[in-house]
Amino acid sequence: MIFYNPGMEYGFEKLGKEIVVSRFKDLDDPYALAGEAAHKIAVAAVTSTRAQQDPRLTISAVCRGVASGMVLLGKDLPKTAVALLSQMAVVAQETNLDPAECMTWAMEGLAPVAKIAPNGGADAVKYAIDEHFMGAGQVFEQLVLTAGA
């Protein structure tokens, strides 16, 4: 169970990472499942914590956790990024949030993971995002430049 401690964020990043690492280790193609996991965690998290925590922090943390877990498993980060971002319109609809903001918040969560990922992670993620979401690669590139790692 996740408890709220005023002044601290909920542990949604850790939750996302733990779910991915424990459930997706032996899967050859876990990308759609990673997107679905992020969707389910984000909707439940935003719905239950909206009064205590900014949805931006929640969505960013969930995506950062899922992406981190996938990197730990040696999975393809660009495919993971596309799967996560593909779920953001549904997350936005189910939580009554702006879809563009949800996409940006998800990319904020992905940026620090991509920044330290092996094999040119940030560039590869940027190109994958741009290929699937016109113009979003440029937004992601700026987020990587400002992301702490």
pLDDT digits (tens, 9 = 90+) for 4-56: 444 457 899 999 999 999 999 888 899 999 999 999 999 999 999 988 999 99
pLDDT of residue 1: 42
The answer to whether position 3 is within a domain reads: no
The answer to whether position 5 is within a domain reads: no
Alpha carbon distance 80, 101 (integer Å): 19
Residues 6 or more apart whose CB falls under 8 angstroms from that of 88 comprise 59, 99, 102, 103, 106
The answer to whether position 72 is within a domain reads: yes
pLDDT above 70: percentage of residues in the chain? 93
Asked if pLDDT for residue 119 goes beyond 90, the answer is no
Asked if pLDDT for residue 138 goes beyond 70, the answer is yes
The answer to whether position 4 is within a domain reads: no
Which residue segment(s) compose the domain that 60 sits in? 12-146
> Which phi-psi region, left, alpha or beta, contains residue 74 (left: φ > 0; alpha: ψ -120 to 50)?
left
Asked if pLDDT for residue 132 goes beyond 90, the answer is yes
pLDDT of residue 129: 97
Tell me the whole-structure pTM to 2 decimals. Answer: 0.91
pLDDT of residue 19: 95
- Structural domains counted in the chain: 1
